[in-house]
A and B are shown apart, each in its own frame.
Chain A
Amino acid sequence: MAIINQATKELQVKVVYYGPGKGGKTTNLEQVHANVQGVSEKGKLVSLATSSDRTLFFDFLPIEAVAIRGFKTKFQLYTVPGQVIYNTTRQLVLRGVDGIVFVADSQYDKMAENVESFQNLQDNLKSLKINSLEIPYVLQYNKRDLPNAAPVEYMEFLLNNREVQVPSFPSCASRCEGVFEALNMITRLLLNKYINESARKTT
């Protein structure tokens, strides 16, 4: 959950990139790190990866931006390891999460993995006693440039087929397309969530 320090005027929020293995979560962070501008401070991108560049624990990118006048807003971006065997690690990274970008792989043969990973996300939130309805998330349909990419409508049917649909973004993370759109949207959703909660409590 977000950390608010009214004395030092700081708000810290945690965004986690979740999704199946080799879906492009790390690439998202790399592109944000390489291309972001206009932020107050950009930290180092730390990757805890195997020798073959697969995420072992997490990737971490701290960014400071101005979202509220007079308040420092620190965004901590994390990825989880997508491989099925690293589920305990995913649970650890989800701890304290404020918003999620679910990075799905658009290739037809990855649909089962997308659905399994999405279900795994729900299960892990439950095991951490986090109400999945209260955590804002967005969907990113990555690798749209590949020839075997499934239609967006099909992915919407598989992953966004519910009463209240969440924002979704087609993307090609390796070309930095759809990366900032998803990040800005999750930022907007999670800050709006706190604004609404505050409003409810003050009325």
Chain B
Amino acid sequence: MPGLPPLIQEDVDTLEAALDQLLLKSEATAALVIDKGGPLVSQRGTVDRFDTTTISALAAGSFCATQAIAELLGEPNFASIYQQGKHHSLLFCNIDENLLLIVIFKATQSVGVVKYYAVETIRRIMEQLQRAQERAPDTSVDLVSMNVLDVSSIFRKQP
């Protein structure tokens, strides 16, 4: 399973610009790009009020579980999940093999509008990731040039 390529400033800027555009047009509250393994890749909007790290882990699990159910039903086309809330609703959209787009928006807003603008956002994200992949198809973390600390006891137990 190929992972996400290392992201440089250009990638981060493009992802953030795509999310900003989505938030502007759809008037959604927050938008996240997450890895299907759980980690958060990029986030924009009013994110301080949400625990986006945990949302990412749960959303990835939820989406992948629903995708597995769809496969058991013989449904190959599974692109999104909509969770309707009382205050905020959520839209989970598949980006590619590795990534998901999560949009948090007010429950009074129409999911159709969010979905409509999300299509363009996904396209922009995919294009940028394609560029990142082509730039460094084999590159993994270059820790050699980084200043790695003694990792034998990063986590210390309180006495």
Chain B residue nearest to A69 in the complex (CB)? B147
The B139-153 residues at the A interface (CB cut-off 8 A) are: 139-149, 151-153
Q: Which residues of B contact A97 (CB under 8 A)?
A: 37
User: Are A2 and B154 also in contact (CB < 8 A) when A95-B37, A95-B64 are?
Assistant: no
The B40-64 residues at the A interface (CB cut-off 8 A) are: 40-41, 51, 53-54, 57-58, 60-61, 64
Contact B157 A5 (CB under 8 A): no
Tell me how far the C-beta of A6 lies from the nearest C-beta in chain B, rounded to whole angstroms.
5
> Which of B39, B58, B68, B154 meets A67, CB within 8 Å?
B154
Q: Which residues of B contact A35 (CB under 8 A)?
A: 157-158
The verdict on B126 contacting chain A, using a C-beta distance below 8 Å, is no
User: Are A129 and B6 also in contact (CB < 8 A) when A67-B151, A191-B148 are?
Assistant: no
Q: How many residues of B contact A (CB 8 A)?
A: 47
Contact B35 A3 (CB under 8 A): yes
Interface residues on A, range: 35 or more
Chain A residue nearest to B13 in the complex (CB)? A7
Tell me how far the C-beta of A41 lies from the nearest C-beta in chain B, rounded to whole angstroms.
9
> Which of B6, B40, B58, B156 meets A4, CB within 8 Å?
B6
Chain B residue nearest to A58 in the complex (CB)? B61
Chain B 18-54, CB within 8 Å of chain A: the 1/0 string?
0000000000000000011111110000000001011
The verdict on A195 contacting chain B, using a C-beta distance below 8 Å, is yes
The verdict on A38 contacting chain B, using a C-beta distance below 8 Å, is yes
Contact A36 B155 (CB under 8 A): yes
The verdict on B73 contacting chain A, using a C-beta distance below 8 Å, is no
Chain A 50-84, CB within 8 Å of chain B: the 1/0 string?
00000001101011011111110110101000000
> Which of A46, A191, A198 meets B57, CB within 8 Å?
A46
Contact A93 B143 (CB under 8 A): no
Tell me how far the C-beta of A188 lies from the nearest C-beta in chain B, rounded to whole angstroms.
5
Contact B51 A43 (CB under 8 A): yes
User: Are A74 and B155 also in contact (CB < 8 A) when A11-B141, A67-B149, A195-B143 are?
Assistant: no
User: Are A202 and B39 also in contact (CB < 8 A) when A44-B54, A67-B151, A184-B153 are?
Assistant: no
User: Are A67 and B53 also in contact (CB < 8 A) when A36-B158, A198-B143 are?
Assistant: no
Q: Which residues of B contact A58 (CB under 8 A)?
A: 61
Tell me how far the C-beta of A10 lies from the nearest C-beta in chain B, rounded to whole angstroms.
9
Q: Which residues of A contact B155 (CB under 8 A)?
A: 32, 36, 38-39, 63, 65, 180, 183-184, 187
Chain B 60-82, CB within 8 Å of chain A: the 1/0 string?
11001100100000000000000
Contact B151 A191 (CB under 8 A): yes
Tell me how far the C-beta of A33 lies from the nearest C-beta in chain B, rounded to whole angstroms.
11
The verdict on B134 contacting chain A, using a C-beta distance below 8 Å, is no
CA distance A203 to B9 in the complex (A): 26
Given A58-B61, A88-B65, A129-B1, 19 more A-B residue pairs with CB atoms under 8 Å apart are: A3-B7, A4-B140, A4-B141, A7-B9, A32-B155, A35-B158, A37-B156, A38-B155, A46-B57, A66-B149, A68-B148, A69-B146, A76-B57, A78-B38, A95-B1, A187-B151, A187-B154, A191-B143, A198-B140
A-B contact pairs, 11 of them (CB 8 A): A3-B35, A6-B6, A46-B58, A62-B53, A63-B155, A92-B68, A183-B155, A187-B155, A191-B148, A192-B151, A199-B144
